[in-house]
Amino acid sequence: MMPKPPIHRIRGNVEVHYEWTYGRYASEFFRNLKQGRFVASRCKKCGKLLVPPEAVCGVCFADTEEKLIPVPDTGEVITFTKINFSYPGQIIPPPYAVGIIKLDGVNTRFNHLIKAKDLAKIECGTRVKAKWRKEDEREGSFFDIEYFELMEDKE
């Protein structure tokens, strides 16, 4: 039996410099968020609208159209959870909800914050609208949407 070679360790930190790109579809999506609007990609095969836009449909795996399509900033709550207590790192003060939102006319869903005058009014199917940050505060990220608010709170 051969003896195991000794293990040598060097402790320290290594810096790794890299660049990451969103790609064409996500770059265009975030440029539009900075302008206060949503865009979707449409599947060439099944016609589903995808937000955020993708190059390939996650349902049928077909390519999506090159041109992105504007979609409304309104939708409905699919599911949610209510946050009633404070903890470090919160983006907005409680009470609020975190929910899955399906924008009108779109076939996909995404997570975001939901704020309401009365959290008890949030239910599955509740209509919501994006509350955008002020134009000069937008950076081209999901946080350009402060939260979704109940459409009945807007009236």
SS (H, E, C) 70-114: EECCEEEEEEEEEECCCCCCCCCCCCEEEEEEEECCCCCCEEEEE
Q: What is the pLDDT of residues 22-55, one digit of tens each?
A: 889 999 999 999 999 999 999 999 999 999 999 9
Would 106 be classed as within a structural domain?
Answer: yes
Report if residue 112 sits inside a domain.
yes
Does 91 have pLDDT greater than 90? Answer: no
Where does the pLDDT of residue 155 fall: very low under 50, low under 70, confident under 90, or very high at 90 and above?
A: low
Q: What is the pLDDT of residue 3?
A: 82
Asked whether 102 and 71 are in contact (CB, 8 A), the reply is: no
Please check whether residue 91 lies inside any domain of the structure.
yes
Specify the long-range contacts of residues 85-90, CB closer than 8 Å, at least 24 apart.
none
Average pLDDT of the chain, as a whole number: 93
For residue 18, is pLDDT > 90?
no
**pLDDT surpassing 80 at residue 138:** yes
E-state strands within 13-90 = 38-42, 49-50, 69-71, 74-83
* Whole-Å CA distances, 13 to 9, 16, 86: 13, 10, 35
13 falls in which pLDDT band (50, 70, 90)?
very high
> Which segment of 15-24, 56-65, 109-118, 139-148 scores lowest on mean pLDDT?
15-24
> What is the model's pLDDT at position 147?
96
Where in the sequence is the domain holding 101, given as residue range(s)? 24-154
pLDDT confidence of residue 109: 94
Contact status, residue 109 vs residue 75, Cβ threshold 8 Å: no
CA gap 44, 20 in Å, rounded: 28
pLDDT(68) > 90: yes
Q: How many domains does the chain have?
A: 1
Structure-model confidence comparison of residues 153 and 113, the more confident one = 113
